[in-house]
């Protein structure tokens, strides 16, 4: 669906509305408790291009942050005024609570445990560039065990691709995540030697070593990741046509010549978020079963619902049959 949407938009200018304005009259409310450039802009464009509108809130300007209004009451108001709610927060619990109290869809725009809209879009970008299903490719992650990696791991289970992770021992994915993968009868491959992790890779992903609001000794952590810097030499251990992707913003985990070089597709990756978000905010699980077939009560479904970010069962609009 994202592929078709992207093609259809080729001749349209930035704010021109898609034919039929499928989200005409709909309002997506966005709330950011942490900084954002891409997520904010891509959702703005996604809803605008579908004919709807968006309003961005800062949590410290609401009663929720300062005046002690409950999430339940805030959620009730959001559900009365808007048609969808996108939230970027430092609290997974808050995402769960909004999910509980909102009667409109809630989209996870990044939380400590996941960054679903990023990774959905990344899967799309990989398949677009490689022209192959991601299940046929070797995907590698070099970096911290953070929210983006957790979503990538969940995606590797969902889309059945081989995922190799290169990171220092101390920063490997935790037992909760590893047990979840095992429970789903899948495997992830973890290496403390970056050369081994990238060996045979079709795609190398990375992200900042220090995430937003990461409460660590930054200097010490950066030093621990020193040998995991992605440079020409490390890329040389991957497949010849291996590509480099990064969600941005970047730190010094990758050299400029790789990040800005021919193997890097980071700008295309960033822009694709608009098209994938357009497809996902129109997603109607009642007519499109596979994504929700795991059921809501298993841990798998919880992680997957974080990937899709959708509040299952409550689409913004009905399935767009033309796309
Ligand atoms: N990749 C990403 O989510 O970027 P922002 O933090 O700028 O939204
Ligand atoms: N892992 C990063 C992703 C930023 C888009 C963070 O949480 O800051």
Tens of pLDDT, residues 269-294: 999 999 888 877 775 434 332 232 22
**The pLDDT value given to residue 307:** 45
Active-site hit among 30, 49, 118, 224: 118
Dump pLDDT digits (tens) for 108-130: 888 888 888 899 889 999 999 99
Cα–Cα distances in angstroms (integers) from residue 155 to residues 43, 163, 313, in the given order = 21, 10, 21
Atom of ligand 2 nearest to the CA of 248: 5
User: 178 C-alpha to center of ligand 2: Å?
Assistant: 21
Give the pLDDT band (50/70/90) at residue 311: very low
Dump pLDDT digits (tens) for 62-88: 888 767 899 999 999 998 998 888 889
250 is catalytic: no
306 is catalytic: no
Atom of ligand 2 nearest to the CA of 39: 5
Residue 147 Cβ contacting ligand 2 at under 6 Å: yes
115 is catalytic: yes
Whole-angstrom distance, CA of residue 294 vs CA of residue 167? 30
88 is catalytic: yes
Tell me which residue has tokens 């339940």.
72
User: What's the mean pLDDT in 126-149?
Assistant: 95
**The pLDDT value given to residue 117:** 86
**The pLDDT value given to residue 306:** 44
Distance of CA 127 to the CA centre of its chain: 16
- The greatest distance separating any two alpha carbons of the chain, rounded to the nearest whole angstrom, comes to 56
- Return the HEC string of the chain: CHHHHHHHHCCCCCCCCCCCCCCCCCEEEEEECCCCCHHHHHHHHHHHHCCCEEEEEEHHHCHHHHCCCCHHHHHHHHHHHCCEEEEECCCHHHHHHHHHHCCCCEEECCECCECHHHHHHHHHHHHHHHCCCHHHCEEEEECCCCHHHHHHHHHHHHHCCEEEEECCHHHCCCHHHHHHHHHCCCCCEEECCHHHHHCCCCEEEECCCCCCCCCCCHHHHHHHCHHHCECHHHHCCCCCCCEEEECCCCCCCECHHHHCCCCECHHHHHHHHHHHHHHHCCCCCCCCCHHHCCCCCCHHHHHHHHHHCCCCCCCCCCCCCCC
**The pLDDT value given to residue 283:** 52
Active-site hit among 5, 38, 88, 99: 88
User: Any idea which ligand is nearest the CA of 253?
Assistant: 2
Residue 212 Cβ contacting ligand 1 at under 6 Å: no
User: Any idea which ligand is nearest the CA of 113?
Assistant: 2
Residue 146 Cβ contacting ligand 1 at under 6 Å: no
Averaged pLDDT score across all residues of the chain: 85
242 is catalytic: no
**The pLDDT value given to residue 314:** 43
Give the pLDDT band (50/70/90) at residue 243: very high
Active-site hit among 38, 265, 273, 275: 273
Give the residue, by CA position, lying nearest to ligand 2 atom 6: 211
Give the pLDDT band (50/70/90) at residue 190: very high
User: What's the mean pLDDT in 209-224?
Assistant: 94
pLDDT at 296 over 70: no
User: What's the mean pLDDT in 196-208?
Assistant: 98
pTM: 0.90
User: What's the mean pLDDT in 129-133?
Assistant: 95
4 is catalytic: no
User: What's the mean pLDDT in 190-201?
Assistant: 98
Dump pLDDT digits (tens) for 31-52: 999 999 999 999 999 999 989 9
User: Any idea which ligand is nearest the CA of 122?
Assistant: 1
């Amino acid at each position: 669906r994202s592929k078709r949407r992207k093609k259809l938009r080729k001749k349209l200018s930035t704010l021109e509305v898609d034919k039929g304005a499928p989200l005409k009259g709909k309002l997506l409310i966005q709330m950011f408790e942490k900084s954002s450039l891409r997520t904010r802009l891509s959702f703005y464009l996604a809803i605008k291009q579908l004919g709807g509108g968006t309003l961005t809130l800062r949590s410290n300007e609401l009663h929720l942050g300062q005046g002690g209004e409950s999430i339940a009451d805030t959620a009730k108001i959001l559900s009365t005024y808007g048609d969808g709610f996108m939230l970027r927060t430092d609290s997974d619990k808050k995402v769960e609570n909004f999910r509980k109290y909102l009667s409109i869809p809630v989209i996870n725009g990044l939380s400590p445990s996941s960054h679903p809209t990023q990774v959905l879009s990344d899967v799309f970008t990989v398949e677009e560039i490689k022209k192959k299903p991601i299940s046929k490719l070797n995907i590698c992650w070099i970096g911290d065990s953070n929210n983006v990696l957790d979503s990538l791991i969940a995606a590797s289970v969902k889309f059945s691709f081989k995922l190799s992770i290169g990171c220092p021992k101390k920063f490997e994915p935790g037992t909760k995540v590893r047990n979840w993968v095992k429970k789903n009868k899948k495997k992830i491959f973890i290496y403390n030697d970056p050369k081994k992790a990238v060996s045979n890779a079709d795609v190398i992903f990375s992200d900042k070593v220090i995430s937003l609001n990461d409460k660590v000794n930054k200097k010490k952590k950066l030093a621990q990741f020193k040998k995991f810097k992605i440079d020409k030499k490390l890329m040389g251990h991957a497949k010849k046509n291996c590509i480099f992707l990064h969600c941005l913003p970047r730190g010094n985990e990758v050299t400029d010549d790789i990040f800005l070089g021919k193997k890097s597709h980071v700008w295309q990756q960033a822009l694709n978020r608009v098209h994938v978000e357009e497809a996902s905010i129109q997603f109607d699980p009642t007519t499109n079963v596979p994504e929700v077939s795991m059921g809501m009560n298993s841990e798998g479904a919880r992680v997957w619902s974080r990937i899709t970010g959708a509040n299952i069962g409550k689409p913004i609009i009905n399935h767009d049959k033309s796309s």
